[in-house]
Structure 1
Amino acid sequence: MHTSTTTIHTSPDTDRAVERLTEAHAVTVNGNIAMSGPLLEELRQARYPNLGRTKSGGGGGGDLLDMKAFNLYETTDADVRAWLNHYRQPQPDDLLEATRLLHNTLRAEAAGNRLDDPDRMFGMFHTWVQRIEDLFNPPREYELTEACPVCETEHVADKDGCQLWAVRVPVKEGRALVAECHHCGTLWAGHDQLTNLAESMQINVDWVALREFLGLPQNQPQTC
């Protein structure tokens, strides 16, 4: 009898991403273990940072609505529900439950070899984790001080109207380095592409300074 096997395109990393989005979970902070609430619940609460607070309670003043948190929550909610609708699944009111249902649905589709581009589909959960983490703890940016080699733009204004170099690399411990032009949207990822970018801009990337900027030990191999 012939026995066939099916590869399910998920991983412990994806399961961990879903856990972080939808369940209380342990995280490491400065070498210590701490408990964190579900990231989607943390994001939901962050939409209204001053709701129910008073000046006597030390939380008065400020905007009642955090637009960044609000927009990210609404976008994530819409994405989850759009995919549930695509697979003709029910729509739980609770986003955490809906996210778990989407994950289980994608696993079932992958098991039946019906899932197109499983890496992209399961990668959505990692993207949502990263976006929420970046909202609460934004990465620092390393500016490349020449014009973009694609669109030739030198500077673009940030949300506060400050002029910054167009090509920047958001840097955060544990995050792969990706350069982005904030005018044309071109991306450069990985050591080779970043090196080629630097050569095309005729600049030298100081990898030692970059590692210092990241707060990483200098005796580790470069893994940009």
Structure 2
Amino acid sequence: MKSTDRKFTSTERMLNALDALSKPQHIAEWQGEGNSKHIFRRTDPPLLDWLREAIVSNMGGSGGGRQARERTPMAVGAFTLYEDIDGRIRSWMMEAGGTPIKAITPTQIIRSWYALWQTSNPTDHRRDAYSGIMEGWADAIRDNLDPPKKIEITAPCPICGQEWINIGLKLLDGQDDPDDVERVRTLIAVERDNINESYAICKACDKVWKGVGQMRWLRIAIDDADATKATA
């Protein structure tokens, strides 16, 4: 895990995002307790390869595949995510003047794209824009294949004021389908191993609070709202 004591340059941030998607990740973590505590080391595949392998495994490998009713929601979500990322990366390659060969994987294409894109002398602003997209892909892959802990926050959103939202299918007139609707809380906290990658999100207004500082602000805003309500 890289230190967060300093801010990465735009180039470093982009390379970190690129490497997470397209290079094996060497992981070292403590396991056990007391005298038996030790460092366990492993090498994880690039996130794009991990996603692809999960799809192939769940869909039935290279054979006839599983019937649709046997596929898990995770497999369907992973496939959709992979297709979206693959299409976007191939589009980037064409915009940079390259040809994304159909037979090669997104893992290979994105590194070739980066080498070609670099020749355009991109600004830090453009680097940050692409980095944000790739970081979003990395988070989405991790969330799909190794879902983080999610906690409902029992308070209204301090931005939009909504506490509950209906989710489910919509009728042609835009109203909720009464046969397929679920009422859920708007605020959800997502816990990651790296606390700076943890975040809260409002499903009603899409506001995101990421990292320790912003989530602390959210906690204070909720407490202030409760205090105001109690004295009203």
Which of 73, 83, 93 in structure 1 is aligned with 2:82?
Answer: 73
Q: Which has the higher strand share?
A: 2
1:135, CA displacement in angstroms? Answer: 1.2
Query: In 2 relative to 1, CA 81–147 (structure 1 residues): closer, same or farther, beyond 3 Å?
Result: same
Q: Secondary structure at the match of 2:161?
A: coil
Indicate how the Cα distance of structure 1 residues 45 and 96 shifts in structure 2: closer, same or farther if over 3 A, else same: same
CA distance in 2, matches of 1:32, 1:64: 31
Q: Does the CA contact (< 8 Å) of 1:26 and 1:34 recur in 2?
A: yes
- Matched with 2:107 is 96
Residue pairs, 1:113-192, within 5 angstroms: 113=122, 116-156=125-165, 163-176=183-196, 177-192=198-213
Root mean square deviation, CA, Å:
3.3
Q: TM-score, normalised by structure 2?
A: 0.66
For the structure 1 residues 146 and 24, does the alpha-carbon distance in structure 2 shift closer, same or farther, using more than 3 Å as the test?
closer
Structure 1: which 5+ runs fail to align? Answer: 1-7, 55-60, 205-224
Cα distance in 2 for residues equivalent to 1:73 and 1:16: 20
Letter aligned with residue 18 of structure 1: L
> Retained in 2: the 8 A contact 1:23–1:38?
yes
Q: Distance in 2 between matches of 1:162 and 1:123?
A: 32
Question: What secondary structure is seen at the aligned counterpart in 2 of 1:28?
Answer: strand
SS in 1 for 2:204: coil
Query: Which string of whole-angstrom CA distances, capped at 9 and with x for unpartnered residues, describes residues 100-148 of structure 1?
Result: 1122233333xx2557432122333333222211211111123321111
Rounded Cα–Cα distance in structure 2 between residues aligned with 1:17 and 1:145: 34
CA contact (8 A) 2:89 2:109 kept: yes
Residue identity over aligned pairs, in percent, reads 21
Query: Tell me, which stretches of 5 or more residues in structure 2 are unaligned?
Result: 1-8, 32-38, 64-68, 169-179, 226-232
Q: What is the total number of aligned residue pairs between the two structures?
A: 189
Greater fraction of residues in helix: 2
Secondary structure (helix, strand or coil) at the match of 1:117 reads helix
The two structures have a TM-score, normalised by structure 1, of: 0.68
Does the C-alpha gap of structure 1 residues 17 and 116 become closer, same or farther in structure 2, counting only changes over 3 Å? closer
Partner-residue secondary structure (3-state), 2:115 = helix
Contact 1:50 1:64 (8 Å CA) reproduced? no
Cα distance per residue 1:43-73 (max 9 Å; x no partner): 112224141499xxxxxx9327811110110
Deviation at 1:162, TM superposition (A): 5.6
Which of 38, 53, 61 is 2:46 aligned to? 38
Q: 1:104 and 1:192, CA in 2 relative to 1: closer, same or farther beyond 3 A?
A: same
Q: Which runs of 4+ in 1 moved over 4 A?
A: 113-116, 157-163
Q: In the aligned structure 2, how far is the partner of 1:186 from the partner of 1:25? A: 31
Compared with structure 1, are the counterparts of its residues 148 and 195 closer, same or farther at alpha carbon in structure 2 (3 Å cutoff)?
same
